Amino acid sequence: MPKSLTHEILKEVGRKAVRLANTLSWKKTKERWLHGVVLGLLEASIGDMQSEFLFDSSIKRIDFRHGSSNPDVIELVVRVNGGELYGSQNISELKKLCKIPYSRARRRILLLLDASYLSSIRKRDLKRTYSNLTAGKGRFTRNQVTVMYIHPETEYSFRWSPFSS
């Protein structure tokens, strides 16, 4: 029977993926390559994983989906050489995740893996780049997203609200 996806399991998978990425050439640590690594680690840890899952025509593909009737969904972002992890770079992922209704997914997670060899980003600084972002106008469901940052030296998470703060 598959296990539940917990924040601890996801952090451990993220730590392993970043450690592996840091043993390889920077050319190998691109998001597409790490996508396969993270998928394999999650499948080995908890099972019942799906990759590139299409919820419906209004929501583009989700990187990872765990579970069956009330799944958890994860979007992966990898920092290779600079600003890939900041809020302005990830608004499309946030909008995609926040539109998935609670009836279709229990948790929505934006997993930020820092495999850049650069110093870690302080929580306060990263959170500030997400705080002024909104899901935009329109009539659609908006749900909070957990943003999880993993670097070889530090890890943390915070909630992003799709409503203006």
Question: What would the pLDDT profile of 19-76 be if each residue is shown by its tens digit?
Answer: 998 887 766 667 888 889 999 999 999 888 888 888 776 667 889 999 877 789 999 9
Higher pLDDT, 74 or 4: 74
Higher pLDDT, 11 or 161: 11
108 vs 137: CA distance, rounded Å: 20
For the stretch 88-99, pLDDT in tens is 899 989 988 988
Residues 6+ apart with CB under 8 A from 124: none
Assigned CATH for 7-160: 3.40.91
162 vs 159: CA distance, rounded Å: 10
For the stretch 98-143, pLDDT in tens is 888 888 888 999 999 998 888 999 999 999 999 888 777 767 778 8
Is 60 exceeded by the pLDDT of residue 2? no
pLDDT of residue 29: 64
pLDDT of residue 24: 79
pLDDT of residue 88: 87
The DSSP string of 80-146 is SSSSTTSGGGSHHHHHHHHTS-TTT-SEEEEEEEE-SSSPPPPHHHHHHHHHT----SSSS----EE
